[in-house]
Amino acid sequence: MREGFVVWLTGLPGSGKTTIARELEPELKKRGLCVEVLDGDEIRQNLSKGLGFSREDRETHLKRVTYVAKLLSRNGVAVIAAFISPYRNIREYARKETTNFIEVYVKCSVEACAKRDPKGLYKKASSGQIKDLTGPQDLYEEPLQPDLVVDTEKLDLRESVDTILAKLEELGVTRA
């Protein structure tokens, strides 16, 4: 059986994590891989319903995600995890717990994310409707040594995905 791996996309809200994950998925499937995308919003709704956005709740949520990623990756699945995952300690926890963990920092400034604002979160934060938005209101600890940085202010979607694919090929995780 082929070994699985976990591509953990971390970055601010609106940086492009989900968009990249959805574009990366079919590319990995074309290479004959079994792929699962774990997306922050979907998983929160189905696995972490009722949890808030305190540090403790975020860590609980991400430990659950890590457990699912661990089960999938150890069974040969290529997992694409798209989560803000704002704290370094929880990303390190995920690295230690899973098979072939690849941390991809989807880098984008708060200003650029606020301009994109695909879910209207930055607008809600600036009007006071949200009080804990990662970036402008709550802590985001940038990765100190990610396996890869994809700067979505400089790279378009195709270039971002190609950069990740090249890294996965370099690491040898996409080979049969």
What pTM did the predictor assign?
Answer: 0.92
Does residue 176 fall inside a structural domain? no
CB under 8 Å to 12, separation ≥6 — which residues?
A: 84, 108, 110, 113, 134, 135, 140
Containing structural domain, residue 75:
5-171
Phi then psi for 148, rounded to 5 degrees? -160, 145
List pLDDT tens digits, range 51-106. Answer: 888 889 889 999 999 999 999 999 999 999 999 999 999 999 999 999 899 999 99
Q: Which candidate in 73, 85, 126, 127 is catalytic?
A: 85
The sheet that has 78-82: what strands, in order across it?
35-39, 78-82, 5-10, 101-107, 148-151
Respond yes or no: is residue 54 known to be catalytic.
no
The pLDDT mean for the chain works out to 90
Does residue 106 fall inside a structural domain? yes
Domain containing residue 101: CATH number: 3.40.50.300
Q: How many domains does the chain have?
A: 1
What is the token pair recorded at 164?
């990740």
Write down the pLDDT at residue 176.
Answer: 54
Does residue 46 fall inside a structural domain? yes
